[in-house]
Structure formats: structure tokens, C-alpha cells
A and B are shown apart, each in its own frame.
Chain A
Amino acid sequence: MPFFDVRDNRSRPDSSFTSSFRLVNMLAYIVRRALIALAALLAISFLSYTLVNFTPADPAEVALRVNDIIPTPEAIEEMRTELGLDDPFLVRYVKWLGNAARLDFGNSFTNRSRSVSGELARAFPYTATLAGMALVFVIGLSLPLGVACAVWKDGLFDRGVRLAVFAGTSMPNYWLAYLLIWLFALKFGVLPSSGTSTLAHYILPAMALSTLYIATYVRLIRNSMLENMKENHVLYARARGLSEKRVILGHVLKNSLQSSMTAIGVGIVRLLSGTVVIENIFAIPGLGRLCVASIFNRDYPTIQAYILVMGAFFVLASFLVDALQCALDPRRKAGTANA
């Protein structure tokens, strides 16, 4: 049976032709984006390896120093051999990349008996829990607040929220973190100030982490809602006699969320990678703290792995968001897919 009838399609495309064409177009787009993502990952890996390797300090000396071993010339020589630093740069990079593809990033400088991938795997759940809870706060608060602000535009509620949003975006999160600890841990004593024993330990850090995102997304959703309210389809929906609730939820909000999707998709990864300060203050042993400690100790293998993993998350997230938007929005396939 033919895939589609070309003669019929010349005059009036039938539905099977259209859907097949869409599918092929979409697959081509996804493959193209996947290839770009792979190239981006390769570039990230090369950059991270290069940058870290061209810092002035000798990695062998650093590996000794972070373990409080006095870097005498003999000890440095022995460590250079142990770390395989005698090979040329490109040979080392290719070896490292081959191992990285198998998620083997070597051993940490700060603790030679621990593997970097083990360290990342250990730290990830903490950061994921923190980012997950922050995301719950972000979605749970920014969505209703953004919608409510748009519905009651310029009212007292809208103005109050906008003021709070302004404060939220202008306050550094470390300062907010200290304020939250002072208020909830010191003053009222209702929440723990550090640690990870229970989910309650994540409440204050998640609040501190999510505030900036809540402020950003409230504004984004509000503006997007207001834009959509001016669209003709909303006017027609109202003209058809639909209730205001159905108009807002069914027409305005749906379209507003679609346009906010990219920002929220990438925002999730930003939540993961943006936990550095908060994890330090609240003593959460996640990826952010691992990254900071690695930078301070010049733990090159861990820094390289962290950059690559976070880069992979960003690339993956933007790929998924693009693919999702491509599936949801037919115009994107035809037009902006090449962008």
C-alpha cells in the first residue's frame, strides 16, 4: 500500500499525508538537534579539560598540597607519574574523554581513594532533593500568584505581589538564607538551620533558593497572561459566552504556560547548578558544595567532571524543551526549527 497518494495530495492534502509529513519533519528536527547537542557536549568537554589544565598550578603539586603532603621535588615527581601527567596534552584529553564516556572520571585529588563519579553520584540526590523542593515552591507559588496578578491587574493584590517580586529579585540569596535561619531556626526554633536528616531540613534552603525563581516566574507568567488576554481567541471565547474561569484556565493560561516552557525547562537545570551558595550555608553535601570545595582545592578531576555533567544537563534540558515545543507547536517545526 502506498505511503500516500501524491495525486490526491497535489490538490488537497489528506490527514495521513499531513501527519506523516509532520512526523518526518519532527524526526529530522530532533536528529539535527541531537547532533548539535552532541557537538556542544564535545566542545564543553574540550573547554573544561583545556581550561583546567592550563591553570598555572601543577596538578601534581596541587594533589599533594590538598592532602597536606609537603610537595618536595621527589613527591611531585612520584605524583606526576601516578596521575599520568607525563603524556602530551591531547593524549591525556583523549584518554580522559574515553573514560568520561564510560562515566569514569578518575579519582578525586582530595581523597585519592574515592572515585569522582562516586562523589558525583553521592552528592546528586541531595541537590536533586533541594532543587525538587525548590521547584515545588516555584511552581506552587509562581503559577497561582502570576495568574492572580494578571486577573486582578493593578489591584492591591497585584501591587503587593509586584513589590514582593521586586524585593525577591533584588535580595541576594545568601542574605535571604541568613535571614531565614535567624527567623525560623533562631527566633522561633521551628526549623533546623543545617543538615539533611529529614525533608524538613530542606525547607529553609529551598525557600532561599526558590525566591529568585518565584519572583522571575511570577513576572513572566503575569506578563504572558496579560499578552494572551489581548489575543482574538480570548475575545471570541468570551463572546461565545464561556465563563471567565474557563477563559482564563482553558485559553489564556494554557497558551501562557506554553510560551514560558523554555524558561522553566532551563530553569530546572539552573536550579540544579545554582545551589552552590545555599548548599554551603545550609551544610547540604550536594553538587554545589562539591563544586566549591573542588575549586578551592583545585581538585581538577572533580571540576572537569562537574562542568561536563552540568553542561550535559543544560544541553539535554534545552534539547528536551525544543523537542517538546516542536511536538506541541506545529509552526515551530516549519519555521523556527532551524533556529
Chain B
Amino acid sequence: MVTVRNVLGCVVAASLLLSSMVVSASGKDPEDTLVMANFRDLRDLNPHLYGGELFAQNLLFEGLIFLNEEGEPEPWLAESWEVSPDGKVYTFKLREDVTFSDGVRFDAHAAKKNFDAVLDNGARHGWLESVRMMIDIEETGKQSVRVKDDFTLEIEFSAPYYPFIIELGVTRPFRMLSPACFKDGTTKNGVACLSGTGSYVLEMNRVDEYSEFVRNPNYWGESPSIGKIVAKVIPDNQARLMALDNGGIDLLYGLQLISPQAFKQFSEKKGFAGALSGPVSTRMLVLNTTSENLRDVRVRRALQHLTSKELISERIMLGLEAPALTLFSRSIPYADIDLEPYQYDQSAAEKLLDEAGWVKSGQVRSKDGKPLEITLTYDTNKVMERTIAQFLQSEWSKAGVKLNLVGEEEQAHRDRLMAGNFDISFNISWGTPYDPQSFLSGMLKPVYGDYAAQQGLEEKQRIDETILKAVAAVDEDERQAHYTYILETLHREAVYLPLTYERNRAIFNSRVGNVGFNPSQFEIPLQFMTLQ
């Protein structure tokens, strides 16, 4: 029979048991172990698909080309490469001293199997023009990827495509997996193991808890300084910061994980430090040119003049993100062109609105009895978007523009953008190294808000054609001319309202050294970091 005494006895015994376990919980990790936190599990690390965490795929798998911090291509698994004069055939000379972590030799045959596996799952890679153009070749009955000899690989496209080298440098999908890990000769239905040529191997993954990477003992290149990397999964933002504060983790990395406030707090805190990258992507608004009140370019330009990017940069982003004057920062390839930025000028805005027929008789301007009401939609999970939206609501109201705010959860927001059911929405460029070519190519398909937002432009068809011409251009000047036309037109039509240039960031305790950034904000160069 259960008595109160028994119950109390159990409680006391349980308490003693738990207390004794506190001691084991305080055990420290070895000194050459870096502990970082991520907000979710590694998920599927198949290097030819997109579901896995990029930082982990980067530790395990390597590609033919490496993009350095400036975004310049450097040799990696390919020692050198050549492009045919017509821009259609790429020839790679591969390194001869590389093995996968399972002992399988890396050579042109293994590389071809990897490319073939990507082509075998072509529908999943619709965003990559290169895959489409390789499949075009395959459909003629000819092989697109060819082994010239054991360490020479040749790839042919149906048309010239200059961004291919950049695409080889990004993490997905052209990274090399040991053919021994393929299932039925391909990877589209999953992989049997995760053996790459990278500087680390995945030692353990406890789903949704933590994963451990250890140095690859047979790595062909310079061995990384840190022996072991532990990636803990801590989904809650506040809990991650507390874990960093109490020594539970050493490093937090990525602008999605670190708010400007948190960055400031830890950068100035004793025993901690922060690092900031250069501008990596553009935070902006996209204005729907088919929307009733935004069809008129004068209204769109007026909104540009009503927005003080300086205030957003200083007050909301705490100075961490510089004000954005144009769609791309001038440091982005082909974006270093002279565009006259829309300056913050309320009187110029009011003049434009007057010219467009929007009369200010009360708080809100009106035309033909209809008020100048515009809706701004945003993702409620993104706190900064809500704050900026509220700021704009207040600012624009001074000129008689009524801004309604609609916050919704991520997927609903994406659905709305895809359907083109919005006036104004937050948007973001893809960042280096995807800008400008991939971001602009994304405008061609009804997948993002960009496609829908541009439908009201008279020059939409020409813009789309020019994007295709730009990525196919072999001549550098011709390519620049195409990009110049696209960027000038979008700027003149005021489709995009740039706000700030985002910068990647990291906060860490003082034992972590050499914290740097890759061109892509989604990658973490852990292999170059050190521990003191």
C-alpha cells in the first residue's frame, strides 16, 4: 500500500540521486574542443541536396573550387581549370593526392559520378542554369561530364555560362561524396554514408541534441587547428545567449542567430568578443508594381524619398548595418555603377504624390475618393522586420500615406509572395557569392515575390531576356552592359526600396581565435579557427 511516508521517501531518494548527478553534469570538454550552438539539427547532410546544415556540409565535403573571403575562386580539389573560347567547355585538372575519409581515391571517375548524381536529380536543381544546360547536352545523347584521364574532367554546356565557377565554389550541390556512399549508383534517394574529402569527419550525431566532428586524420591539406567541434542544438534565442554567457558554448555565428543588441552586449563584455563581416546581402522592401496604389512610379519613388535608411541603420540596427543606397552594394560584382540614390526628402516625396494626383486634405491623402492606403506584409518570426515596419508606418504617415501592417507566420508569408498577393513586402538579396547572378535569375521564375512585383513594368520582358543574356555573355564588357541595364531599370522604376546592407556576425568567448567569414553568410569557416 502506498503511504505518505513511502511517497516522501521516494522524493528524498530521487533528490539525492539527482544531486549526485549534478557533479557529472559539470564535466568540461577537452581543451581542443570548440562548442558552438545552432538552432536546429544537422538534418540530411547529403551534399547533393539542400536539406542539411551548410556549416556541417562544409566541414565534410569539398568541391573543385574554393571561394576565398573576397569571393575570388581558388583551386581546391581542382588544381587548375580552363574555359574554352566559346565559354561552353570547362576542363579541370584534379589533385592527385586526395582520398575520401573512407579510403576511396578521389579522381575524375569519382568526380564524374558526383556530377552525374546531381544531373540524375535535375528537377531539384531548377535554380541552377548550369544543371539545365548540362542536361540539355545529355538529352542529345552525348555525355556532358566526361573523364579525359584519371585526373582530368571535362564539362560541356549547351550555352556559355560564366557563373559556373562561382556555383562550383558554393556548398551545394556540387560537393564530392565518396561513390561508396551512393545508393544504387546515385544520391537522389539518400546516401549510405557521409564520407567526403573534408578536413573533418562526423563522429556522432544525436538528432536534435548535438553532433561531434573530429579532425580527418588523412586530410590531404593543412590539418585544422581545432581537434573537435561540438555543435549543440539550442533552438531558443535567449537560452543560446545564456549558454554562451555561462560557458556552455564558445561560439555563436550568423546574423540570424545574433541580434544587434546581443552583438553589442557580448562585444563589450569582458571575456567575450564579436566579429563583423563586410556587407553580404541587402535588406530591402519590394514594391508590387501591379498593386493598385503602387502602379504609378511616382508613388514608388515618393516612398523611396520618405524612408530614412540612416535612421533605420542607426536606431534600429544599432549601426551594425550600413544604410543601403542601391539594390546591391557597389562591392558586389557588376554592381559598381553610378546610380543616383533616392535621398531622404519629405518635400520631394510630397511633390511626387501631388503630381500623381494624391491630394492631402486630411491625415491621409486621397484620389478619386480613395485613400492612399498601402499594406506592408512581414514575417512575424523576424523581429527586426516588425520594428522597421512600425517605424515606416510612423514616418510615412507624415506625408499622408497610410501604411497597414500585416504580420504572418513564415510559410503563409512565403505563399503570399509567391502568389503576388501583396503591396509591399520585406525581401532580401541572396548575398555573396550568389549576388548578382543567382538573385537576378530568381526573378525569372514565379517562386519569389520579385517575379510578381515586376509584372507591372513595361520592360519586364526585356529585363528577363537581359538576365539570360548576362549569364551567357562571354565578353566581360558585354556582361557588364547587361547588368548595368538591369540594375538601372530596376532602380529607375523604384521596384526595390533598399534599407540596409546586412553584415554577418559572430560572438564568442575569448579562447576562440581567428574568427573569419566566408563569402556566403550561411557558411562558417570553422576549419580556420583556433583555440587558446
Interface residues in chain A, defined as those with a beta carbon under 8 Å from any beta carbon in chain B:
56-57, 61-62, 64-72, 74-75, 77-78, 110-113, 122-123, 136, 139-141, 143-144, 147, 178, 181-182, 185-186, 189-201, 203, 249, 253, 280-283, 285, 289-290, 292-293, 296, 298
Contacts and interface: CB of A to CB of B under 8 A. Distances in A.
A181 B126 contact: no
Contact of A185 (B21, B208, B234, B242): B242
27 contacts: A61-B418, A65-B414, A67-B44, A70-B126, A70-B127, A70-B442, A70-B447, A72-B123, A111-B44, A111-B51, A139-B11, A144-B4, A144-B8, A147-B4, A186-B246, A190-B22, A193-B239, A194-B239, A199-B21, A200-B24, A203-B22, A281-B238, A281-B239, A285-B207, A289-B208, A292-B235, A293-B235
B242 A182 contact: yes
Contacts of A72: 123, 126-127, 445, 447
Nearest to A286: B208
Contacts, number: 151
B208 A123 contact: yes
B38 to A, nearest CB: 10
A289 B235 contact: yes
B40 interface: yes
B246 A136 contact: no
B43 A111 contact: yes
B234 A283 contact: yes
B18 A194 contact: no
Interface string B433-451: 0000000001001010000
A249 B4 contact: yes
Chain A at the B interface: SS class: helix
B10 interface: yes
Nearest to A187: B246
Interface string B274-317: 00000000000000000000000000000000000000000000
Nearest to A290: B208
B190 interface: yes
A285 B4 contact: no
A78 B415 CA distance: 19
Nearest to A292: B235
Nearest to B206: A285
B123 A75 contact: yes
Contacts of B209: 195-196, 283, 285
A193 to B, nearest CB: 6
Given A70-B127, A140-B10, A56 B239 contact: no
B176 to A, nearest CB: 20
A112 B50 CA distance: 12
A64 B126 CA distance: 12
Contacts of B41: 285
B79 interface: no
Contacts of B410: 296
Contacts of B21: 198-200
A112 B10 CA distance: 44
Given A72-B447, A283-B232, A283-B239, A193 B248 contact: yes
A200 B51 CA distance: 33
B443 to A, nearest CB: 13
Given A72-B447, A140-B8, 4 more contacts: A57-B412, A67-B49, A123-B208, A140-B10
B74 interface: no
A144 B4 CA distance: 8
